[in-house]
């Protein structure tokens, strides 16, 4: 029987294939969670966790500078500021979660570019020092260089 005669057969095969792929993917994710732990969330989720952690920490801090009298009032002010900050950050995270992922990726790319530039400059510096005679000088064999071939000179104190 051809697909034209029975169009439901092909759709069922596609559904079975999609279901099998989804099951395999979920099994792999479960295995990775078991092996490596929970993966980090998106940048927006991580920022939300950071804001919550900072807010919790700030709300529990007691200021010795304000004394016992201003303590409760100061804590209330800190709580209000923390709530205002969370209220300002939350809508931005909700509206633009992909922006933070892009910013995180851009930061990683900038770090890789910086690392590459520094490594390149360091290799040029070391190559230039060797080319300009920055290495050990030729003194006709009068100096004892010690056992290693480094630039230092061994001094005999006897």
Give pLDDT tens digits for 30-70. 888 888 877 667 777 888 888 888 877 876 766 565 555 55
Q: Which residue has the tokens 């929970």?
A: 38
**pLDDT surpasses 60 at 99:** yes
Choose among 65, 48, 64, 66: nearest CA to 56. 48
Alpha carbon distance 98, 47 (integer Å): 12
**pLDDT digits over 133-144, tens only?**
555 555 555 555
25: left (phi over 0), alpha (psi -120 to 50) or beta: alpha
Question: What whole-number distance in Å separates Cα of residue 52 and Cα of residue 46?
Answer: 10
Closest to 60 in 3D by CA, of 70, 68, 71, 69: 71
Return d(Cα 38, Cα 23) in angstroms, integer: 19
Indicate whether 107 pLDDT > 80: yes
Max Cα distance, the chain (Å): 103
| Cα–Cα distance measured from residue 45 to residue 74, given in angstroms and rounded to the nearest whole number | 29
DSSP string, 11-22: HHHHHHHHHHHH
* Model confidence band, residue 23 (pLDDT cutoffs 50, 70, 90): very high
φ, ψ for residue 141, nearest 5 deg: 80, 15
């Amino acid at each position: 029987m051809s697909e034209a005669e029975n169009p439901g057969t092909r759709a069922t095969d596609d559904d079975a294939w999609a279901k099998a792929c989804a099951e395999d993917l979920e099994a792999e994710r479960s295995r990775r969670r078991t092996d490596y732990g929970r993966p980090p969330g998106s940048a927006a989720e991580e920022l939300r966790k950071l804001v919550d952690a900072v807010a919790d920490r700030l709300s529990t801090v007691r200021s010795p500078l304000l004394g016992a009298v201003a303590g409760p009032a100061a804590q209330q002010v800190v709580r209000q500021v923390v709530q205002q900050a969370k209220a300002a950050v939350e809508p931005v995270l909700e509206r633009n979660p992909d922006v933070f992922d892009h910013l995180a990726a851009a930061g990683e790319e900038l770090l890789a570019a910086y690392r590459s530039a520094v490594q390149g400059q360091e290799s040029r510096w070391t190559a230039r020092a060797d080319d300009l005679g920055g290495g050990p000088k030729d003194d006709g064999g009068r100096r004892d260089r010690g056992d290693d071939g480094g630039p230092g000179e061994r001094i005999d104190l006897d």
